[in-house]
Structure 1
Amino acid sequence: MALSVSYGERYGWTVVQVAGEIDIAGVVALRERLQRLVTEGCLHLVVDIGRLDFCDSTGFAVLVATRRLLAARGGRLRLVLPPAESHTRKVLALFGIERIFDVHESVEDALADARTVPGAPQDAVPRQRDTAAAATE
C-alpha cells in the first residue's frame, strides 16, 4: 500500500496525517515533508500515524530525527499512535516509541491543551497531500 501524507492547521499546531506503509520505498517522502514543514516554521507538530499499516526502522528513524530537529529549534512533536492491538503499534513499542515520544491515542487528545488557547484556529485546513508509491522500481 502506498504512503499518504497530508497536513493542516488546528489550534495553532500542524497536524500531519500519515497512512499506509513507511518502509524504504516511502520513507524519503515522509522525511522530506516533515523536514520541509519544520524549515518553513512549523514548530508544533502532531504526527498522526494511527492509520499506518506498517512502519520499519527507517520510518522510526525519521520520527526521531524530526523530534531532534524540532527540539533544536524550540519546537514540540506529539505522536498519535495506531490502536494498541495493531501489529504496527506492537513493533513501534519494541523500538521504545512510548519512552521517546509524547504519545497520544487520538489527535483530539494530542491537542487537548491547545484548545484552550484564545484565538487559535479551530478547524484543520488541509494544505497539501503527498503520496509516495510503495512499489519498488
Structure 2
Amino acid sequence: MTLAVDEARRGVWTVLRISGELDLVTSPEVRRQVHAAVAAGRRDVVLDLSDVLFCDSSGIGVLIAARRLLHSCGGRLRLVLPASGAAEGSHMNRVFGALGVRRLFEVYENAGAATGDGPERLTA
C-alpha cells in the first residue's frame, strides 16, 4: 500500500490527513508536506493518523522531527489518534505505546477536537 496526504484548513489549523503506510519509503512525503506548510507561514499543524495502517520507526522519526520543527518556529503540532478501541487507530496506538512516545505529543481523538471544535485533549 502507498501513502496519501490530504490537506485541509480548519481555522488557523492546517490538517494533514495521512492514509496508508508510514514507513521508510513514504515518510519523506509527510516530512515534505509539513515543511511546505511551515514554509507557507502556517505554524499550527494537525497530523491526522486515523487512517495509518502501518508505521515503522522512520514514521515515528518524521513525527518527532515535525514536532521539533514546529516547536522551533513557535508553532503547534497536534496528532489525531482514535481511541484505542477503534480498529483503524489500534496499530498507531500500539506503536506509540510500545515506544513510549505518546507523551511527547498533544493527542486528540478526532480532527474537530484537535482544532478546537470538539472535546478536549485525550489523556496519555
Pick closer, same or farther for the CA change 1:64–1:43 going to 2, 3 Å: same
**Structure 1 residue 83 displacement after superposition:** 4.1
* Structure 1 gaps, min length 5: 115-137
Pick closer, same or farther for the CA change 1:88–1:24 going to 2, 3 Å: same
TM-score by length of 2: 0.85
Q: Take 1:103 and 1:71, find their aligned partners in 2: how far apart are those partners?
A: 16
User: Which residue in the other structure is 1:106 paired with?
Assistant: 110
Aligned residues: CA RMSD: 1.6
The reply on whether 1:46 has 2:46 as its aligned counterpart is yes
TM-score by length of 1: 0.77
Q: Secondary structure at the match of 1:19?
A: strand
Deviations 1:49-103 (A, max 9, x none): 0110001111111111111111111000000014414123211222223200000
CA contact (8 A) 1:78 1:104 kept: yes
CA contact (8 A) 2:81 2:92 kept: no
CA contact (8 A) 2:3 2:19 kept: yes
Identical residues among aligned pairs (%): 40
* Structure 2 gaps, min length 5: 119-124
How many corresponding residue pairs?
114
Task: Decide which structure has the larger Cα Rg and report it.
Answer: 1
Q: Take 1:57 and 1:104, find their aligned partners in 2: how far apart are those partners?
A: 21
User: Which residue in the other structure is 2:15 paired with?
Assistant: 15
CA contact (8 A) 1:47 1:79 kept: yes
